[in-house]
Amino acid sequence: MSTATTSNSPGKWVVLPHFAFAALAFVALSVLLIFSTDAFGGHYFHPKLLTLTHIAVLGWATMLIFGALYQLLPVVLECKLYSERLAIASFVLLAVGTVLLSYAFWYFEVGWVMHLAGCALFLSFLLFSFNVTKTARLAPKWTIDADFIVTSTYWLVATGAVGLLMALNFTMGFLPADHVHYLKLHAHIGMAGWFLLLIIGVGAKLIPMFLLAHPESSKKLTWAYYLINAGLVCFVFDHLFFQTGFVWLYAGMVVAGVGLFMLFIYTAYKSRQRQDLDLGMQQTFVALALVLLPLVLLFVVSTELPLPQELLSAIYLVYGISVFLGFVSALILGQTFKTLPFIVWMHAYEHHVGRYKTPLPKDMYSHAWLRWQNISYLLGYVLLVAGVLLRVQDLILAGAIGFTITSLFYTANVYLLLLHKVKQLKPFSYGNASA
């Protein structure tokens, strides 16, 4: 019994700048998408597409995940964050690295700017991984959620290392194979190793918590963890050294792992006490449904189907879009409004609860904007995917406009929360608690 260790949350300056940066990155990404409709007609190794991908992956998704994780790690691991200073250093390096890398890709300047960006990002990942690992070692008990989270950071470091090597290789030319060969490795360990493992680790804890469900067993998650990691390790070694043609098998292991996670979530969903799903959770389930598309496409890109080159190029593009602008973005758009209002509320009202009537976190942002954000997102996503697949630039443009509208609603709501000020609060007048 203790009251001493109840608040493990880090300071707001550790967490909130990540949300502020990520929202702006999402706007930048969407606006640049409008000016990049011509880039979707060919191969994915295109300066504009590389820019868009890295803004989406680093400035938007990774930035937001870093910030959210500093808040959520103490919840999942039941201990304080190891170092707030490391977290701030990691944020600065990620922000600077993302801006420099985006500039370098957009103008395709493969010299010192790209090298500097690569070094900043790799260092940011190293600091982040070190911080998470040290935090996990403080945890009073080790769970499978912790395994997912800690391992995902090692894959992030590996992804960054391959990316840095590729950046240096542009001018130094020391890698034995071509860039596309390493790009496949870089992309897949980033997608399945970093994003997927992290999302499963955090989702397995948070989604049942938000649904008020208590899943009895974590066996499915344990199997998922080993299947995904085994699939990834096999893929890495095969891709680098053997090229046996068994990629579909490794893909199958990853897909089976995701399937087990989905079953775990389904069990939690069936046993939930909270029947009424808010907009944030509705969007989260949309994201979980959207993961089906990249899982199907994973088999298409991992088996050498005799498809026309043009169609295959379009499928590769849709595959990438369906992961980053589909599953990952949809999840962020939903989960932001399950976590950020809460974080802001806690910092604003922590010392007022119990003395004054305070608003609830759900009263601190616009539900109408959130609803329009979710609608415009889904429309934008469908139009973009259709446009890329059918190679119709007007559809791609319509999708990009949909994303821009989404990003504006999202950012407006995020800044509404970040700039929230405590107004004059009324003290309690005892008598009727439900009044």
Partner 1 sequence: METQAPDTGEQVFETLKYIIDPEVGINIVDLGLIYKVSLQEKVLTVELTLTTPGCPMGSTIITAVEQILSNRFPELQVQVELVWSPPWSTDMISEEGMRELNGV
Q: Which residues bind partner 1 (CB under 8 A)?
A: 1-3, 6-9, 71, 74-79, 209-210, 212-214, 273-276, 342, 345-346, 349-351, 353-355, 357, 360-362, 428, 430, 433-434
Q: Could you tell me the smallest distance in angstroms from the CB atom of residue 423 to partner 1?
A: 17
The type of residue at 293 is L
Copy the structure tokens of residue 62. 């990774």
Q: Could you tell me the smallest distance in angstroms from the CB atom of residue 43 to partner 1?
A: 45
Q: Could you tell me the smallest distance in angstroms from the CB atom of residue 84 to partner 1?
A: 15
Q: Could you tell me the smallest distance in angstroms from the CB atom of residue 74 to partner 1?
A: 6
Cα(356)–Cα(424) distance, integer angstroms? 10
Within 8 A by CB and 6+ apart from 137, the residues are none
Q: With both helix axes pointing from N to C terminus, report the angle between 329-349 and 279-290 in degrees, rounded to the nearest 10.
A: 150
Residue closer to partner 1 by CB (options 135, 404) is: 135
Q: Could you tell me the smallest distance in angstroms from the CB atom of residue 194 to partner 1?
A: 23
Residue closer to partner 1 by CB (options 176, 427) is: 427
Over its C-alpha atoms, the chain yields an Rg (Å, rounded) of 22
Cα(275)–Cα(413) distance, integer angstroms? 25
Within 8 A by CB and 6+ apart from 364, the residues are 341, 344, 345, 416, 417, 420
Q: Could you tell me the smallest distance in angstroms from the CB atom of residue 15 to partner 1?
A: 11
Q: Could you tell me the smallest distance in angstroms from the CB atom of residue 282 to partner 1?
A: 15
Residue closer to partner 1 by CB (options 211, 258) is: 211
Q: With both helix axes pointing from N to C terminus, report the angle between 179-188 and 219-237 in degrees, rounded to the nearest 10.
A: 170
Q: 155: part of which helix (H) or strand (E)? A: helix 144-172
Within 8 A by CB and 6+ apart from 254, the residues are 192, 196, 227, 228, 231, 232, 298
Residue closer to partner 1 by CB (options 119, 346) is: 346
Coil, strand, or helix at residue 355? coil
Residue closer to partner 1 by CB (options 226, 356) is: 356
Residue closer to partner 1 by CB (options 304, 350) is: 350
Handedness of CA 90, 291, 20, 336 (dihedral sign): negative
Residue closer to partner 1 by CB (options 76, 166) is: 76
